[in-house]
Amino acid sequence: MDTPNAADELLNTAKQADPANAGALTRAQLTPEAAAEPQGQDVPGHDHAPAATPAAEEAGPSPYVLPAVSLALLLAGLTLDHYQPGFFTPTVRLLWYGVTFLLVGYKVVRSAIQSIPSGNIFNEFLLMSLATIGAFALGQYPEGVAVMLFYTVGELFQDAAVNRAKRSIRALLEIQATEVAVLRNGQRLVLDPKQVVIGDVIEVRPGEKVALDGTLQTERAAFNTAALTGESVPQTKQKGETVLAGMINQDTLSQIEVTAAFKDTKLSKILAMVQGAVARKAKTQQFITRFAKVYTPIVVGLAVLLTLLPYFIVDDYVFRDWLYRALVFLVISCPCALVVSIPLGYFGGIGAASKAGVLFKGSNFLDVMREIDTVVMDKTGTLTKGVFAVQQVVAGPGQDPARFTALAAALEAKSTHPIAKAVVQHVQPTGPALPVENVEEIAGHGLRGHVDGQEVLAGNTKLLAKFHVAYPPEIDQLIDSIVVVAVAGQYAGYLTVADEIKEDAAQAVQELKAQGIKTIVMLSGDKEAIVQRVAKELGISEAHGGLLPEDKAAHVERLKAAGHRLAFVGDGVNDAPVVALADVGIAMGGLGSDATIETADVVIQTDHPSKIATARRIAVATHRVVWQNIGFAFAVKAVVLALGAGGLATMWEAVFADVGVALLAILNAVRIQRMRF
């Protein structure tokens, strides 16, 4: 078995066109040690053959052939032993079962031998090799074959289970287009997406995947976004709106102007996050791996003592009997169920979350998400749609509404804030663009710059107060969001802007409360009156408005100092520091800024706040399944180990305690993929 870095394997999977040909994630790849190994290095204790290509896998024999032949020979041998005891001579019997054993045991024994020079001695390969070869030495041929056969079958079932768990993540990895049609100099060229530059216009036919992020140049088109967001309802985009790589064009020949290079598309960044998630291990995984490293050599030592120590204690000591007990003890002690099912459980949780439109950047964040007792949320873009529209334009005394709004729109065009976009969209200048210079964005206040030779301020009333510009005091009493404008140091007027609450925002708050989240806080830079109105509609008891980014950070630090384990949910650039400060930072991946998405630990690809509760349900379910496996594996092994040491368990019970428990634990872990969240 070739065992490259798990993240590299996912990357390789993304390059394969046929998901059925993707290589299975082996047991070694599920451990932190394997995830840390450089690509291309040999892994002690494993085969050193190069990874099979998809074509080679398709052409090669099924991995089930040799185990099936071995099983047939084993059953035939047992039948002949029972019904025709004289059929086998001692030599023929040894050869018969020897061939049966080698069909399934050759690679395991070879891996055990290859692991010795590197010092990686105490592993499952050594345990299985010692136990089965020892059984042959004692003449227990069928039992030796059975242990190795069922161990191999367990490995195959394990690979099948892991592939099932990988399917949803693999589907995400395979949505990148491998070629794109580019319109250059009147020609339609088919290129690799990496060769396309910003500003190129690409053409996407109905049914094709969008290869790069861009803005739609066609008047209207519908796109299937299910691969990115998990939402089955197509989105209709209008000219000028953003289209993301990975979306599928539904019905219209569309032209899109590229706005991001291939490596900078949101899809590429999501894929990088998925690949990194495999290597980030939860504390439970790390503990089990450390435990196995100590546990396995201790068990081998106990097996040696179990063989030799009774010589000094028992009167009727028979070396053969006590060696058999020690071999049974070794088989039982193999930590397969723990080493495999626990990482598989977390991997399944990440896969289930990605299928639901939630991306965990590591299994460690599944654990932390389960532990949170407080959720702090930004308002705009998180609980509200962040799609603003200008409702009213009010000019100051002696001011021309058209002039001051044109100046404000020219300045706001330099900002990515949703309110700024609303102002720009409302004005939609038809004349030549006004020159803008020396733009300064003042966090929590607004913008300052020179437009058409005049100094312009556009933001909230705190901005005007900061630069000592007088404005009518009644503006402070307005509830709606406003953009106040000053030109050449004089108040010029204001625009009112309205936002809408997301349809599932109230549902998100209710579900979080139902899950036992006692403290839900809303923080916003918007006006206090608006924040309190939204909080009342959503059922949030604690809300604070008029906050600067440092004020949000102060609130989060206060909650953490009080002992809260909290998640912060945001979408704006100024939310990135607070996202990083929280125990779990959650970013809205659709409307969210790149800085916030990169800083966050969890990304909600659908921008639906109700997915916060979904993410926590998945985290809780994953934790429950993982600890079910730990408890079950330890309980069964403890009982059968005691029976084996006392001579009351045979190799057949040992097989159940090892392979049987591992299979049951794997099946339990796979349940996460079938759960509805």
Question: What digits encode the pLDDT tens for the residues 573-625?
Answer: 567 778 878 889 888 866 445 555 666 788 887 788 999 999 999 999 999 99
Three-state secondary structure along 72-91?
A: HHHHHHHHHHHHCCCCCCHH
**Residue that is last in its domain, among 260, 286, 301:** 260
Q: Would 80 be classed as within a structural domain? A: no
Pairing, β 220-224 against β 248-249:
antiparallel
**Residue 185: which region, alpha, beta or left (left: phi > 0; alpha: psi -120 to 50)?**
left
- pLDDT value at position 337? 65
Torsion of CA 68, 70, 73, 78, to 10 degrees: -110
**Residue that is last in its domain, among 217, 245, 260:** 260
Q: How confident is the model at residue 511 (pLDDT cuts 50, 70, 90)?
A: very high
192 a catalytic residue = no
Q: How confident is the model at residue 25 (pLDDT cuts 50, 70, 90)?
A: very low
pLDDT in tens, 61-97: 678 899 899 999 999 998 998 888 888 888 999 999 9
- pLDDT value at position 8? 37
- Which of 2, 200, 367, 378 is an active site residue? 378
Q: How confident is the model at residue 517 (pLDDT cuts 50, 70, 90)?
A: very high
Q: Are 241 and 215 in contact (CB under 8 A)?
A: yes
pTM of the full structure? 0.59
Q: How confident is the model at residue 484 (pLDDT cuts 50, 70, 90)?
A: very high
Cα(405)–Cα(415) distance, integer angstroms: 15
pLDDT in tens, 489-504: 999 999 988 778 888 9
Number of Cβ within 10 Å of residue 190's Cβ equals 9
Q: Would 431 be classed as within a structural domain? A: yes
pLDDT in tens, 552-561: 889 999 999 9
Q: Would 244 be classed as within a structural domain? A: yes
Return the axis-axis angle of helices 283-308 and 610-645, rounded to nearest 10°: 0
Q: Would 503 be classed as within a structural domain? A: no
CATH number at residue 412: 3.40.1110.10
Percent of the chain with pLDDT over 70: 78
204 lies in which domain range? Answer: 197-260
Cα(654)–Cα(530) distance, integer angstroms: 66
Residue bearing the bigger pLDDT, 270 or 382:
382
413 by Cβ neighbours in 10 Å (0-12 / 13-18 / 19+) ranks as buried
Amino acid residing at 415: S
3-state secondary structure (DSSP) of residue 388:
coil
Residue bearing the bigger pLDDT, 655 or 212:
212
Q: Of 56-60, 206-210, 609-613, which gets the smallest average pLDDT?
A: 56-60
**Residue that is last in its domain, among 498, 532, 547:** 498
Q: Would 632 be classed as within a structural domain? A: no
**Torsion sign (Cα): 354, 31, 329, 101:** positive
Cα(279)–Cα(25) distance, integer angstroms: 13
Three-state secondary structure along 437-455?
A: EEEEEECCCEEEEEECCEE
Q: Would 106 be classed as within a structural domain? A: no
Return the axis-axis angle of helices 610-645 and 336-355, rounded to nearest 10°: 170
Number of Cβ within 10 Å of residue 87's Cβ equals 13
pLDDT in tens, 637-661: 788 878 877 777 777 777 777 777 7
**Of 172-186, 565-579, 609-623, which one has max mean pLDDT?**
609-623
Residue bearing the bigger pLDDT, 373 or 651:
373
Domain tally, the chain: 3
Q: What is the CA radius of gyration of the chain?
A: 32
- pLDDT value at position 510? 95
Q: How confident is the model at residue 271 (pLDDT cuts 50, 70, 90)?
A: low
CATH number at residue 235: 2.70.150.10
Q: Would 584 be classed as within a structural domain? A: no
Q: Would 256 be classed as within a structural domain? A: yes
Cα(491)–Cα(395) distance, integer angstroms: 9
